[in-house]
Structure formats: structure tokens, C-alpha cells
Amino acid sequence: MNKGISTNARVGIFVAVVLLLLFWITFKISSGTIFGRIQGYTLTAEFDNAQGLNTKTGVFIAGIKVGYVEDIKLADDKALVTLRIIPGVKIEDNAKAVIRTKGLLGEKYIEIVPGKQQAAALKPGEQIIFTESPPDLEELMNKLNGIASDVKSVTQSLNDVFGGSKGEKNMRGMFDNLNRTITHMDRLITSTNKNLNRTFDSVNTFAQALKEQGPDILTNLAQISGELHAIIAENKQSVNRTMENINQASERLDKTLANLEVITGNLKEGKGAIGKLLSDKKTEQQVTKAISGLSSMVGGTSRFRTIISYRGEYQFAYHNVKSYLDLRLQPTWDKYYLLGIVDDPGGYSSTSTTYTTVKNVNTGTVQQTETVNNNISNQLKINAEIAKRISYFTFRGGVIESSGGIGVDINAPNDKAQLSVEMFNFNEKPYPELKAMLSISILRYFLLSGGMTDIANRDVRTWFMGVGLKFDDQDLKSIFGLAASTTYVNTK
Amino acid sequence: MTFRPIAIFEYIGARFTTLLEELGGIFSTFLQSAGLLFVPPFRMRLFLKQMEFVGVESSFIVLLTGAFTGMVFALQTSYAFRLFGAENLIGPSVALSLARELGPVLTGLMVTGRVGSAMAAELGTMKVTEQIDALYTMSINPVQYLITPRVLSSIIMLPMLTILFDFIGIIGSYFMAVFLLGLNGNRFISDTIYMVDLKDIYIGLLKAAVFGAIIAVVGCYKGYFAEKGAEGVGKAATQAVVISSVSILIADYFLTALLF
């Protein structure tokens, strides 16, 4: 009134301003709703665990809020959540609703992860089928508990191995062994030391002797040189004569040489029979041919491939190992000679009969008992074979395991694998020994083999598995070269 | 004077009957004024004048207290929320507490100090100077003439002042958070809008309306029944402020428990 504004106006302005504020705040807070009428459409989603979700919990796609949780209900032991999505946002039916945690305080929100493929948009009121609930903390703890108990059982078993009286015993045994080894080494070193000491002692003694008798030796030497001097002085005349003779001889030699010079000159010009022979072109060609023939022969020998191989075969029926050491000389690719020794633990079988005679003192009768011993003993056998290769087949024959035999090898195209069959020892057993073997070479130097020996004789046949080593002459050269150099270093 | 143990109970009983008398008087005053609202004559001018007095003239003090309350609240909560990196909760917590409690209660207390005491003093003076008796002799219902406009305008104006308080308080906290604490302004607003529900604000306004009724009824009752003399007027004003302040806080508790 005093400012020229009526009471009515002042109250009116106040009320208008405040109501405008109230309207604005209301509109801001209920964004998406206009005067209580809710905008947007609803979708539902079923979660196993809706813990932490509230009405008004936000729904996000790619971090942008697209709606909120309108309602949470219990439906068949699951949480049925109604989501209010703002209009214009389409959610496809392969999308996944995931409850996620925001921030440290564990505030939850729902993230809608769109599916990878394009799909039809969900209509209002439909359900999002794919959902993911947050992992239950309790469940996680249980899992961790399980892991912890596993770890515990591992440490427990470790404890059982190392701890306890048994473990202690094992450990003690180990230490005892170690102790014994060290003692042995100690003793060895001590004894070596003793030998060395003895050697030094002898050297010392020798030096001592030299020191004692040194002056005598020197006087002897002086005597000898004096005598030598006297002899030379006595024979001065005769020495002079000798020198003269030598002089004459050299003169004669000179003459001879001059003659020789004449002769060679003649030869060079083709004078005389020998000269003709030497200067003839035909002779030269013949000599060249002869030399090249010789060199090809020598070269051929040097091109010999030498292969040394060792093979051990474990025989399953007898639990023993049969070893082969072979030297293969291969002049050409399709031909080789093989020389080898075989160490066969069951190679030699003998039968010995022992007769024991016991004389009974009381009755005076003589009783004789007979004992038959079957001995199987180790035997070294020899291999000596000639082999000829025709394409993939190699035929060989000769002495196999100290008896006559033949064999055939079938090679794989790259020679990495080989199937061989051999037959030998035609006399001793009911059937000849038949052996089939498949061998594969690995990493150039190694062989793996397996097969069956003595197939025809049912009682004694056995499966075997083998491993072996194989060296070429190139490899051997490098190995021996290395060995030689090491020896050299050692002797120096 | 001999000591009589019964005197203690006599004292307690006297106080209790006085309290009941007071409550009954206040309640009957409210009922009378409310009933007379629908009885003609309707005096719009008196009503508008009271609206101006209670609302328009209180707006400055409400804006001032609201702004500083919001600012200090933002500052205080930031200390706590910084500890576990939840600074984005400053806006929502300030807005929620302003809308639910601080807005209505502080507005009510401010208006009690300014309006409630004035009403008691004004009516007390009229009573002492027998102006009320004069109104009666002029066949004007003094309750309808004096109390009804005051109660109604308070009931209407308190929520409006609360809206002002909330608004200025949130703006104050926004300035505090964004310009002094360096938070993101858009984040502050969106988090606040996200967390605050319309229900929070409307229940706060309902509380404010109840507080308005308490302030006006207590002030008018104390003034209307003031005792003789200037001393009686002063006593009426003081008692009006004390009783309505305490009543506001007690009513706030019950309203919160009932409505939220």
C-alpha cells in the first residue's frame, strides 16, 4: 500500500510465484510424467535375486538412463520386476537385463545389454527373457571356502609327505645317503691326495739327489770335453785330408750335373727313345686318364657313407633288453654292407645234467640222483649282411645273429619309417626265427621301434619295444673332432 | 508452614488440569474458527491482509534462513561423504532432508517467532483494551472476525513458505557443491531429481500446513485469553512462541511416523 501496490496484488504475486515454483519442481522430479499420468511403456523381467533393487532404480542402456523400476513383485520364487521405459526407446527381444552394482556402497541398477543380432523390438507389457542376477555374496564366500579347503588338503598331503614320523624317516634316509656320498668323496680325495703327495715326494728326492751329485757330474762333463779337444788336435792331419777328398768329390759331382743338364735338354727336345716317349701327346693323355681313374677310386671310397647305430629292444615276455650295435658301410644309395654285434641276454641256452652219488654208510647201498639244469645265458652274436635296395624295398641277406638269414625292409617314401621282416636261425628251433619290426626315426638321431620276435615259435615269441641312436659319418666326424680337441686340451 | 506430602500431587494435578484446559481451549478455538469459516459474512479483506502478513512479509526471512541452511548442510554432508567417495549423494541428501524435515520445521519455527508472537500480542492488546468486548457489543463474532482469517491464512501460507525454503535451500546447496566443493553441476541436479520423490515434497507441505494451523491457533488463543495488563500481553506472546515451537517439534515426530 505504501509502495503503491495493494495487499491483493502483493498476495497474488507471492502465491503465483510460489505455485510456479511448486509446479516447476513437480515437473522436474516427475520427469516423464505429466500431471501424474505416466509416460512410456512397461516391460517385465524375472530375476532370481532382486536384492538391492528398489522402485525408481534406474534402467540403463550403454550408460544412458532409459527408464526405471516401477514395481517389484514375488512370482513363483522369483522376482518379477516391472520396468518403465521412456517412449521412443526400443528394446529388442534378444536383449539381456543384468543387475549391476554402481559405486562402493553397492547401489544397484539394471543394465540392458542389447543382443548381437538385429531382432524384433519388444512390445509394451512383454517380458525380457534373458536376465542375470548379481552373484550372491554368500555363494561367493562358499566357493572361496571350497577353494580354501582344496588348498588346505594340498598342504595337508605335503605335510604328510614331509612331516610326520614317516616323512622324517625319509628325509633322514636322504640325508644319510648324502652324508655317505660325501664321506666317500672325501675319502677318494684324501687317497688321491696321498698319491700326489707321494709323487711330489719322489720329485723332491730326485731334486735332492741332483743337488748332491751335481758338482760331480759337472766335473765329468769338463773331463769329457777336454778329452775331445785332445783327440781333435791329434787328428788334425787326417781331418785336413778328408776335407780335400770332399772337395774332389764335389768337383766330380759338378761334372755329372753338367752332363745331366745336357741329357735333360735332349729329352726336352724329344731326342733319344726316352725323350720321344716323354714328349709324346698320347703318353700324356694316357697318364692323365690313369691318374683320374685313380682319383675317382679314392674319391669313391671317401664318399662311403658310414652309419653307426645302436638299438636296445625291451622284450616284454622276458623283461630284458637285447642290444644291437651296427656299422653300416654304404658306397652307393642302393647298396650297403652291415657289420654288427648283438648282445642277447637269452641268446644261449644250455642244458646241464648233474649226477650226485650218495653212499649210505649204514646199508652200504649207493644212491644216484640226477639234476637237470636249464641255463639261459648271455651271448654275443654277429651280424654281417649285404643289402640291395630297389625303390622302396631293401633286400638283405647274410649272417643274422650268428646264423644264416634273409630279410626285407619296406621304406616309407621319406625314409622316416621302415617296416622290416627277417628270418634266420633255421636249425635250432622247430620253426626259423621270424622277426617283424616297425621303426620310426625321430629328430634325425633317434629311433623308435616295436614289433615281435620269433613269431613262428609260440612258446618263446615276444613283443618288444625299442629305442635307438643313429649317427652318420658327418655326425661322427664332428663328434670325434670335438673329442680330439678336448683330448688335446687335456694333455696340454 | 508444615510440609504436606500431598502438596506435590496437588501441584502435579493442578499443572495437569491446566495443561488439559489449555489443550482443550486451543482445540476448541481451532474448531470454532474452522466452523465459522463456512458461516457468512466472509471477510476477504481481513483474510488477504493476514495472508500478506503471514506469507509475503515472512518470505524474506524464510529465503535467508533457507539459503544458509542448504549451504551449511551441503558443506557438512560433504565432509562425511568425501570419506567414502560418495559425493554424488550430497545433492540428494540435502534435497531429501530439506523437503521432508528441515523445510517445514524451520519455516514453522521462523514463522512462529515472527507471526505467532505478533498474533498473541495483537489479540492480547485488543483483549486488554477491551476492543474484543467492543466487537462483541457490535454483534461481530470476535472469533470469526479475528481468529478465522489468521488460522486459514497460516494454513495456506506455511506450505508456500516451505516451498520457498526448499527451493532456495537446494539452490544454496547447489552453489556450495558446484562452486566451492567442485562437483559436477549436471550430475548434482540429475542425482537430486533421481533420488527425490514428489511424495517427499507433498508430505513436507502437508506438515507445513499442520504447523501453520498450530502457530495461528496457539497465538490467537494465547492473545484472546490474555490476562489483564501489559504484563499479561507479554506473557501471552512468550507462551505462544514456546508452546507452538514445542508443539511443532512434537507434531513433526508424529506426522513423520504416520505419513512416511
pLDDT of residue A486: 41
Share of chain A above pLDDT 70, in %: 81
CA separation for the pair A457, A266 (Å, rounded): 83
Q: How far is A31 from chain B (nearest CA, A)?
A: 8
Question: Does residue B250 carry a pLDDT above 90?
Answer: yes
pLDDT of residue A484: 44
Cβ within 8 Å, pair A11-B56: yes
B84 closest CB neighbour out of A8, A21, A104? A104
Share of chain B above pLDDT 90, in %: 51
pLDDT of residue B119: 93
ipTM for the predicted complex comes to 0.76
CA A420 to chain centre: 27
Question: Does residue B246 carry a pLDDT above 90?
Answer: yes
* Chain B residues lying within 8 Å of A15, measured CB to CB: 51, 55, 160
Cβ within 8 Å, pair B163-A21: yes
Q: Are strands A64-75 and A127-128 parallel, antiparallel or unpaired?
A: unpaired
pLDDT of residue A275: 61
B55 closest CB neighbour out of A8, A14, A25? A14
List all residues 6 or more positions away from B225 whose beta carbon is below 8 Å from its beta carbon.
B25, B127, B236
Cβ within 8 Å, pair A11-B55: yes
| Cβ A368 vs Cβ A405: under 8 Å | no
B48 closest CB neighbour out of A8, A22, A103? A8
Q: What is the pLDDT of residues A187-215, one digit of tens each?
A: 777 777 777 777 778 778 877 877 777 77
* Chain A residues lying within 8 Å of B49, measured CB to CB: 7
Confidence band, pLDDT 50/70/90 cuts, at residue B163: very high
Tell me the CATH number of domain A40-134, given options 3.30.2310, 2.40.50, 2.40.30, 2.60.120: 2.40.30
Question: Does residue B3 carry a pLDDT above 80?
Answer: no
* Chain B residues lying within 8 Å of A103, measured CB to CB: 85-86, 88
* Chain B residues lying within 8 Å of A20, measured CB to CB: none
- Residue A62: exposed, middle, or buried by beta-carbon count in 10 A (0-12, 13-18, 19+)? exposed
First and final C-alpha spacing in chain A:
129
Mean local confidence (pLDDT), B220-239: 89
Is A102 in CB contact (< 8 Å) with chain B? no
Cβ within 8 Å, pair B56-A8: no
Domain made up of A304-348+379-487: CATH architecture: Beta Barrel (2.40)
Question: Does residue B164 carry a pLDDT above 90?
Answer: yes
Is A8 in CB contact (< 8 Å) with chain B? yes
Ordered by start, the domain boundaries in chain A are 1-30, 40-134, 304-348+379-487
List the Cα angle A167/A173/A174 in 5-degree steps.
Answer: 90
Is A18 in CB contact (< 8 Å) with chain B? yes
Q: How far is A101 from chain B (nearest CA, A)?
A: 14
Cβ within 8 Å, pair A15-B86: no
Question: Does residue B15 carry a pLDDT above 50?
Answer: yes
Question: Does residue B150 carry a pLDDT above 90?
Answer: yes
Q: How far is B188 from chain A (nearest CA, A)?
A: 13
Q: Mean pLDDT, 10 residues at a time, over chain A (492 residues)?
A: 71 87 80 56 86 81 84 86 85 86 74 83 84 76 82 78 71 80 78 74 78 76 78 71 76 76 69 63 69 55 73 85 86 84 76 74 73 73 87 87 88 84 83 88 84 85 87 68 44 36
CA separation for the pair A465, A446 (Å, rounded): 14
Cβ within 8 Å, pair A25-B163: yes
* Chain B residues lying within 8 Å of A14, measured CB to CB: 51-52, 55-56, 59, 160
